[in-house]
Chains A and B, each alone.
Chain A
Amino acid sequence: MKEKSILTVPLLSPAWKKIAFLFFPLPVILVIGMAIAQMDIDPNEGAEIIYGFWAIGFAMLNLTKEKDEDEMIKSFRLQAFQTGFYWLIWGLGAIMLINYYRFGNISSEIFSAYLVLFLLNAYIYGAFQYQKYMAAKDIK
């Protein structure tokens, strides 16, 4: 099937990787700065800020073109998104079970949209890097 325009995912140019990596130390500095400035933020709020920034950072890395964006890399990216969702579902299931056995309920305060987005994008990134590592291993 030829790609329909509605299904096309535009990828960022490789230069965006540098910007994406800024999103990892930035929230930590921000939260420390807010604590020093005694802005009286909730500890959970600090964690949410960090998760949110890291989710954006990983999402940008996942949607940034590689130097050689050929069909193997495209297939790795597709597989990474599939594997990322798979790990997220099982990971969340595991946390819910642990929560159930420890506290008697399956929902928890730790589940937030920021955390889930961070975990999903981190898993996708991990799956993508793993495939690239395996392909580069034993290169002759």
Chain B
Amino acid sequence: MKNSIKVERAKLNLTQQDLADLISVSRQTINSIEAGKYVPSTVLALKIAQVFKVPMEEIFELEESD
């Protein structure tokens, strides 16, 4: 699953640590999500979307392999 968290973070000038603190996860988790190594749960994905104030499907996108 692709995601645009890095782009959204840049728009708000947030670091990985800032985003991690806002949604109560570790920076490593944010890094893994951005790198596509970890697919977040629906709850976490909704929390991320809430921070960026955009619909979830604008951040996360299914790939052919999904």
Q: Show the binding face of A for B, using Cβ within 8 Å.
A: 67-68, 70-73, 75, 134-136, 138-140
Count residues on chain B whose CB falls below 8 Å from chain A CBs.
Answer: 16
Bound complex: CA A71 to CA B44 (Å): 8
Tell me, rounded to whole Å, the shortest Cβ–Cβ distance linking B35 to chain A.
7
Contacting pair A72 B24 (CB below 8 A): no
Bound complex: CA A67 to CA B37 (Å): 20
- Is the C-beta of B50 less than 8 angstroms from some C-beta in chain A? no
A72-B29, A135-B28, A135-B29 given. 6 additional CB < 8 A pairs?
A68-B26, A70-B25, A71-B41, A72-B28, A72-B38, A140-B34
Contacting pair A139 B28 (CB below 8 A): yes
7 closest cross-chain pairs (CB), A and B: A68-B26, A70-B25, A72-B29, A135-B32, A139-B31, A72-B38, A70-B29
Tell me, rounded to whole Å, the shortest Cβ–Cβ distance linking A12 to chain B.
19
Tell me, rounded to whole Å, the shortest Cβ–Cβ distance linking A91 to chain B.
27
Contacting pair B24 A70 (CB below 8 A): yes
Residues of A within 8 A of B40 (CB): 71-72
Contacting pair A134 B37 (CB below 8 A): yes
Tell me, rounded to whole Å, the shortest Cβ–Cβ distance linking B43 to chain A.
8
